Amino acid sequence: MTTITSDTRPEPDSVSTWLTFLLALSCGLIAANIYYAQPLAGPIAAELGLRPQSAGLIVTMTQIGYGVGLLLIVPLGDLIENRRLITSVIVLAAVALVAAALSTHPLPFLAAALSVGVGSVAVQILLPYAGHLAPERIRGQVVGNVASGLLLGIMLARPVSSFVASVSSWHAVYWMSSAIMAALAILLRWTLPPRIPQGRLGYGELMRSMVRLARTTPILWRRALYQASLFAGFSLFWTTVPLVLAGPAFRLSQSGIAVFALMGVAGAISAPIAGRLADRGWTRPATAASMVLTSAGFALTLVVAPGSMLSLVLFVVAAIAIDFGVQANVVLGFRTLFLLGADSRSRLNGLYMATFFLAGALGSAVGGWAYVSGGWLLAAAIGGVLPLFALIYLATEKK
């Protein structure tokens, strides 16, 4: 087993297949916690007594918690031994998931959802950790492979939670995930090689250094804003589409919505593809393609009126296109930022992820409002325009 003692170790020649698989699996299982609630927002809101207009809060609170954790916990990966930090944060997620499963009123559930988001940032400690493991020549490939596990977790979370809820209840989804997190914390504590960061900053100084990084790293903000535009649309899509599918146009059951969500898993193949493209120096054209594909996905859903079989097929294709574009772009961002230096990877990752996850939380909230106010037409129009703003911004980037 590889042992990582500090950031000054000799660069390895490769990363074992087993360790890459373990990191990818862990990322997927942890990231799923953020997305289990997306197709269940309606049933959860109804049982807890939330108004339909407020159903988006169920997803938004988890994403806000994730954003807070990205800013306050993920940077500790540059300060604290990584294996210990990762397992501690996973335990927090397990406890929060139990609290969500036990909730019967809105306020306790929303507080638990916020804590689930904070605990789920362990995945963003694992990704820079994978970057530390990999030599530069294949760093994009390794990070892309690990991120593909993350993306599979994100996409499989929706159908899994829908299927479990259809045969039991939404409470069972949270009980299941809490048990998985407890087992995962034990497994990673036994198997991950330790990594002791070289930095010796105090926590206050670490936080202040993030402000300096934000001011002095323009590529960070470019990549963060690119992804913020795409991820806001992604969150809007997956918060709103279950409401469309369950509504009068399609009248799909929870199981039918689960099958639909399962189709979006095909978009996960974009992660390793994007990583390889970045390793070959094609980051800019791949970024532009991701933005165009994401916007085109929303446009597809407006070709025919919702309700027909053709419309449903177009929604499926749109889901794949949107997932493909958004997930490819996030990997391109990881690859770009992880080249900037080992000693600040966790802080750069925290700033990057926090920016676009807060945009995702806004997208979820706007999606619920837009659907109630103007139906799918308004929601799709907002989601489709956002990547075009990113494309215009990309055009100003110096080659």
Tens-place pLDDT, residues 316-359: 999 999 988 998 898 898 888 877 766 777 788 778 888 887 88
Q: Which helix (H) or strand (E) holds 126?
A: helix 123-133
| Segment of 117-121, 162-166, 213-217, 347-351 carrying the highest mean pLDDT | 117-121
Q: How far apart are CA 161 and CA 157, in angstroms?
A: 6
Provide the number of structural domains found in the chain.
1
- 98 vs 119: CA distance, rounded Å: 12
Show Cβ contacts of residue 237 under 8 Å, excluding neighbours closer than 6 positions: 297, 298, 318, 319, 322, 367, 383
**Tokens standing for 62?**
């988890």
Span 223-239, pLDDT tens digits: 999 999 999 999 899 88
Residue 8 maps to a domain: no
**Residue 353: its pLDDT value, please?**
80
How far, in Å, CA of 376 to CA of 303, rounded?
12
> Per residue in 237-282, pLDDT tens?
988 998 899 889 998 887 788 788 777 777 767 767 887 887 788 8
Tell me, yes or no, whether 236 lies in a domain: yes
Is residue 311 situated within a structural domain? yes
Identity of the residue numbered 287:
T
Per residue in 52-68, pLDDT tens? 767 778 888 888 898 88
Q: What is the pLDDT at residue 139? A: 66
Residues 6+ apart with CB under 8 A from 73: 85, 89, 118, 121, 125, 350
Q: Scan for tokens 């929604």, then name that residue.
A: 315
* Digit-coded pLDDT (tens) for 26-82: 999 999 998 898 778 888 888 998 877 677 788 888 888 988 888 889 888 888 888
Distance CA 102, CA 104 (A): 7
Asked if residue 383 has pLDDT above 50, the reply is yes
Q: Which pLDDT score is estimated for 32?
A: 93
If 0-12 CB within 10 Å is exposed, 13-18 middle and 19+ buried, where does residue 145 land? buried
Q: Which of 109-118, 139-148, 301-310, 350-359 has the lowest mean pLDDT?
A: 139-148
- Give residue for tokens 């994100």: 154
Q: Please, what is the average pLDDT of the chain?
A: 86
For the segment 141-157, the average pLDDT, to the nearest whole number, is 78
Neighbours of 205 (CB within 10 A): 11
Q: Are 275 and 145 in contact (CB under 8 A)?
A: yes
**pLDDT score of 195:** 80
Contact 361, 63 (CB under 8 A): yes
Q: Which domain holds residue 55?
A: 17-394
Could you tell me if residue 399 is inside a domain?
no
Can you give the pLDDT at residue 280?
84
- Does residue 259 fall inside a structural domain? yes
Task: Report the CATH number that the domain containing residue 318 is assigned in CATH.
Answer: 1.20.1250.20
Residue 250 has which token pair? 């399609």
**Any domain includes 234:** yes
In this structure, is residue 11 part of a structural domain? no
Q: How many Å apart are CA 375 and CA 353, to the nearest integer?
A: 30
| Cα 34 versus chain centre, distance | 8
The helices-and-strands tally (H runs, E runs) of the chain is 15, 0
Assess if residue 6 is contained within a domain.
no
Buried b / exposed e along 265-301 (16+ C-beta atoms within 10 A): bbbbbbbbbbbbbbbeeebeebbbbbbebbbbbbebb
Q: Is 164 helix (H, G, I), strand (E, B) or coil?
A: helix
Cβ contact 227:352 at 8 Å: yes
Dihedral sign for Cα 16, 18, 20, 22, please: negative
Within 8 A by CB and 6+ apart from 392, the residues are: none
For residue 15, give the 3-state DSSP assignment: coil
Q: Rounded to whole angstroms, what are the CA distances from 46 to 185, 193, 199, 256, 282?
A: 33, 45, 49, 19, 47
> What is the 8-class DSSP label of residue 79?
T
Handedness of CA 36, 265, 186, 76 (dihedral sign): negative
Q: Averaged over 137-147, what is the pLDDT?
A: 73
Per-residue model confidence (pLDDT) at position 5: 46
**Distance between CA atoms of residues 39 and 254, nearest Å:** 8
* Proportion of the chain above pLDDT 70, given as a percent: 92
Question: What is the pLDDT confidence band of residue 10, given thresholds at 50, 70 and 90?
Answer: very low
User: Is the CB of residue 44 less than 8 Å from the CB of residue 60?
Assistant: no
pLDDT at 158: 78
Q: What is the pTM of this model?
A: 0.74
The tokens describing 257, both together, are 């919505």
